[in-house]
Amino acid sequence: MIAYGCLAILIVYAAVISIKAYMQRKRVPTSEEVDEVLLTILNRGRDTK
Amino acid sequence: MNHKQPVQLKSYSITRYGYQKLRVCKHCKNFTMLSEDGCRYCDKNKLVSLDEHASSLVRHSHIKVLLIALLIAVAAVLFGDSTEQRLICGTIGLIVIVVLWRVQAMLRPQAVSRQLLELIKQEQQVIVNGVFRDWEAAIENWNKDKPLTYAMLREIATLMHNDTIRMQQLHMLDSFILRKDMDLELDPLLLRHFEPLLANYIGEVAKLKRELIRDRTLRYVLRHEHSILRLESGLAIMTAVVGASLRTKHYVASYAPLVRRYAFSLPKDRFLRLYRMLAEYPDHDWGGLQDEVYRIYQEKYRWDADFH
């Protein structure tokens, strides 16, 4: 029975990981967003333009 | 005495996104924007791009997940009461792991993009420190190697947008004899205030690389026209800029009053270009430019065969 218990845990674990990854695929930052965040970090509070 | 030196400038590699200029050392985790082979902090040859680093972090995290899944599958096999049960657990475990691996592979590009943003947010202070140290390294070469200093400042200025770094670049450029074959830039160097160094640089660029004179530069010279004219070479700068703006009808139409003010000083080839452009679009409203060009034509080029 422990073997099936482990198998169940494995299936649930794989399902949780897969669903989480699948859900997150909709919130993928674009390269432009990444650039914008980096520029904001590097130019915060300076005489930027 | 002429303080300008002939130099060979390192070519500047253009990346599609600014963050692609940033690299991280896989050993000491410091960031740099400079195109050096080895890491300045640990001397190891382990500098990689942020994309590569994010990709490697995702790969490690995926391997960790697969190892955990494998561990559970092995436990299921080991705890099996019979060979049949072990076989079932082993087969199902393997199928689950393969499915998990396929899902990871399928969603990997999205995971890398998320990891990239996460990495930048988490390491923001380290990134800022790294870029500032790059800046310091550039300034350390100020008197020793000016072309190198300029190349370093230009790399850093891809992500650091401030007038201080622009001024430092202009100081470097002012010490070089500029040539047509140099990889020059103009728009990123435009300041908010009037600066004679910038005005002189604009004048030189207008003569060497007309294609760099675009709307932002024209707006800058228009805004600071009176200050530029107070410079020794002010009129030459304005004339060169106007001459460079005659590349397209758009600039002539958008800055017609500016063109009109300096049309008289234009060299013959530029004036001829302007003359032909106006002749090509006689019905366009040039706002008095046509009258001025005609007046100059009558005064200077009436008998010139090139105009007929």
What is the DSSP track for B182-250? S----GGG--SS--HHHHHHHHHHHHH-GGG--HHHHHHHHHTHHHHHTSTTHHHHHHHHHHHHTTSHH
Whether the CB of A14 is below 8 Å from some CB of chain B: the reply is: yes
Chain A contact for B11 (CB, 8 A cutoff): no
* A36 domain residue, yes or no: yes
* Residue B298 DSSP code: I
Q: What angle do CA B198, B203, B208 make, to 5 degrees?
A: 120
Tens-digit pLDDT profile for chain B (308 aa)? 568 889 998 888 889 999 999 999 999 999 999 988 888 888 888 899 999 999 999 999 999 999 999 999 999 999 988 999 999 999 999 999 999 999 999 999 999 999 999 999 999 999 999 999 999 999 999 999 999 999 999 999 999 999 999 999 999 999 999 999 999 999 999 999 999 999 999 999 999 999 999 999 999 999 999 999 999 999 999 999 999 999 999 999 999 999 999 999 999 999 999 999 999 998 888 888 999 999 999 999 988 888 87
* Interchain CB distance below 8 Å, A3 and B77: yes
The answer to whether position A25 is within a domain reads: yes
Q: Answer whether A23 touches B (CB < 8 Å).
A: no
Cβ-defined contact of A34 to B75 (cutoff 8 Å):
no
Could you tell me if residue A48 is inside a domain? Answer: no
Domain range holding A34?
A: 2-43
Q: Do the domain assignments include residue A26?
A: yes
Which among A5, A14, A25 is the nearest to B110, CB-wise? A25
Does residue A22 fall inside a structural domain? yes
Residues of A in contact with B54 (CB under 8 A): none
- Between positions 271 and 300 of B, the ones with CB within 8 A of A are none
Residue A49, domain member (yes or no): no
B93 in contact with A, Cβ within 8 Å: yes
Task: Note whether A38 contacts B120, CB cutoff 8 Å.
Answer: yes
Give 3-state DSSP helix, strand, coil % of chain A, rounded to 5: 80, 0, 20
Is the Cβ of A36 closer than 8 Å to some Cβ of chain B? no
Nearest by CB: B69 against A14, A31, A37: A14
Per the structure, the count of domains in chain A is 1
